[in-house]
Structure 1
């Protein structure tokens, strides 16, 4: 592509963004379509069949705004935000941790935590990362494919010298695999691991229909390593410049919080209480400006 062609392409993208995305004004004029970028194979959050809880929440918001929902399906990965939201291909991304550095976020509409999951018949009842049995049992964890980008439980276990008995399962899987995050739960069902330590929404959802009864215990914090967070606030991702649109969504989330809570409960999402200080700061949490 010539330099002139590249320049014209950039102008076309910028023009499309300005015309289709909600404006920066305090009360943006809403288009007829709410464009949502989402992963096509990422239950319990979203899939192409629109069976995820994020699909339901997006539908709820769009209905209130008298908008139709249009999805751009894009597999979540390293460049997801650069190629979707920040390329003006959509207006929102559901389920973004507040404080995320690639997008601004609304106030959180839920907070969850990592959890221990065990087979109920084993009566392990593990409630702490310092439980000595974690040094001998087989522990299933999600891996992200990069040793420097491990999940909080993996960091916490490695700091304790618990490494050899960790069994990693890819959270992304391959393109043809259905529900890859469920693999670690299936391993627990089949006896390939004794404990799974996973993000609560994944654990809660995929444990509901397990072939054996499972017990779920929230991890509130790591007493030895308080710098490792286990609980996260989750909001809606928007472009940093779209302050008016973000504020409008904040009001909508406030108004619909009870309905959103019911959706989350129906999907087995374990809630976590927000710290008092964070709760007081509510409106400012997660904003990047």
Structure 2
């Protein structure tokens, strides 16, 4: 999944036409309608919990649902979700769909969102920490892990806590290094006391930790810095008919999509910004 760094630093209905396993999609750079039996998707080969080349991520699962409903075969183009991802995949027509991107992105045409999540505070359950928000006074005495350039980093700066921070790189080649995974591991090993990580990632890596960790979705924070984001799929600009088709199927499949997200323990928010229980 791509989180728009522009938003970070400041921080699905239409008709479908399916027939005999063939999708008719219009609007490709002004050309006539395309006919294809393949759903071409661009995704990261090593970016769990979102996607990997073993198809173990929740985006992989959701794409499979989409393709089954459309009666299409899925074909992936793999590329690490780092600098140049959109430019080297969707824009070069290596695929027709990106499976996960924040709706604030200006580099693509977003579908309607299929989930909304939030940044999460993570600490060891046996640490004695009881913080439930970023302005808890206890954080002034703790070592904090945060990915540089993300919304929690902005909040930490405003709270005057930068002197307590262990930073992690925002941009990384996920084939070699996961900043969020390292941040979670550091909480488990005691290098840091608390980490602030994007909710789906925090839930995934906390679940893999040998230490029992507490996760607190940051839903009660000062709204001057946005900590929650809606996530959609993405198509190229001027492919509005294709977007509408994807939107219609996403709407139809939303209950199944929600089940997959809950299976991966993704913290989900309602349209009103309230945490949705499983």
User: SS of 2:145's equivalent?
Assistant: strand
Q: Residues 63, 170 of structure 1: CA spacing in aligned structure 2 closer, same or farther, 3 A cutoff?
A: same
1:94 and 2:99 correspond: yes
Specify whether residues 219 and 125 from structure 1 end up closer, same or farther in structure 2 by C-alpha distance, changes over 3 A only. same
SS, match of residue 182 in structure 2: helix
- The whole-number CA distance in structure 1 between the counterparts of 2:24 and 2:170 is 31
The answer to whether the 8 Å contact 1:141/1:167 transfers is: yes
8 Å contact 2:51–2:59 — kept in the other structure?
Answer: yes
2:49 aligned with 1:49, yes or no? no
After superposition, the CA RMSD in angstroms is 2.0
Q: Distance in 2 between matches of 1:97 and 1:175?
A: 18
Matched, 1:250 2:247: yes
Offset at residue 178 of structure 1 (A): 6.1
Comparing 267-276 with 61-70, which one deviates more in the overlay?
A: 267-276
Paired position in structure 2 for 1:222: 221
CA distance in 2: counterparts of 1:64 and 1:268, whole angstroms: 24
Tell me the CA shift for residue 216 of structure 1: 0.8
Distance across 2 between alignment mates of 1:255 and 1:174: 34
Consecutive unaligned residues of structure 2, counting only runs of 5 or more, are 1-22, 274-278
Question: Is the 1:156–1:222 contact (alpha carbons within 8 Å) kept by the matching residues of 2?
Answer: no
How far did residue 209 of structure 1 move? 2.5
Q: Is the radius of gyration larger for structure 1 or structure 2?
A: 1
1:24 equivalenced with 2:21 (yes/no): no
The answer for the alignment partner of 1:7 in structure 2 is none
For residues 24 and 194 of structure 2, what CA distance do their matches in structure 1 show?
A: 45
The alpha carbon displacement at 1:169 in A equals 2.4
CA apart distance, 1:222: 3.3
CA distance in 2, matches of 1:29, 1:242: 11
On the 8 A contact 1:21/1:88 being kept in 2, the answer is no
Whole-angstrom CA distance in 2 between matches of 1:62 and 1:35: 10
Which residue, 27, 35, 39 being the options, matches 2:40? 35
Q: How many residues align?
A: 247
TM-score (norm 1): 0.80
1:78 aligns with 2:83: yes
Greater helix fraction, Structure 1 or Structure 2: 1
